[in-house]
């Protein structure tokens, strides 16, 4: 296993496979199937460790964990003009900026 592994893992049930599937957000193409969720997590962590070791050996870049990346808090979203108009109107009627309205709406989306 990787020492100080800070990658983002998730284990979920795969109805298609009839097993739990371990996933890593930083390595979206990797997965590990197992009959128990704990085994799926251990499996994907080992696969990631093996891939990172191979990348290091070959001098290739290694993805930075999401947990250690720095974020500015800014990103641009393109929307259709009609939606832009509707949101601008809603923001004006609510007495807030469009940025504040969008931020509030995004904060209500379950993660």
Q: Any idea where the domains of the chain sit in the sequence?
A: 9-66, 71-107
pLDDT at res. 2: 75
* Other C-beta atoms lying within 10 Å of the C-beta of residue 43: 19
The structure tokens listed for 105 are 């709406």
Question: Over 80: is that where the pLDDT of 1 sits?
Answer: no
Q: What is the mean pLDDT of the chain?
A: 94
Side-chain-facing half-sphere of 68: CA atoms under 13 Å: 8
C-alpha torsion sign, points 84, 90, 93, 96: negative
- Residue 106's H or E segment, with its range, is helix 98-107
**What interhelical angle do 98-107 and 81-94 show, nearest 10?**
100
- In this prediction the pTM is 0.73
Residue 34: strand pairing partners: 20
Instruction: Say what the pLDDT of residue 110 is.
Output: 84
Please name every residue paired with 32 in a beta bridge, in sequence order, or none if there are none.
22
* DSSP symbol at 65: P
For 26-72, how does the pLDDT look when each residue is reduced to its tens digit (9 = 90+)? Answer: 999 999 999 999 999 999 999 999 999 999 999 999 999 999 999 99
Mean pLDDT confidence for 102-111: 90
């Amino acid at each position: 296993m990787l020492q100080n592994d800070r990658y983002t893992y998730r284990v979920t049930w795969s109805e298609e496979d009839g097993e739990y599937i371990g996933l890593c957000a930083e390595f979206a193409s990797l997965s590990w199937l197992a009959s128990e969720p704990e085994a799926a997590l251990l499996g994907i962590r080992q696969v990631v460790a093996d891939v990172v070791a191979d990348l290091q050996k070959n001098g290739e870049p290694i993805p930075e964990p999401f947990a250690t990346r720095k974020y500015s808090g800014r990103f641009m979203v393109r929307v259709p003009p009609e939606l832009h108009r509707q949101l601008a109107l809603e923001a004006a009627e609510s007495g807030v900026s469009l940025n504040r309205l969008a931020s509030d709406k995004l904060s209500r989306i379950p993660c």
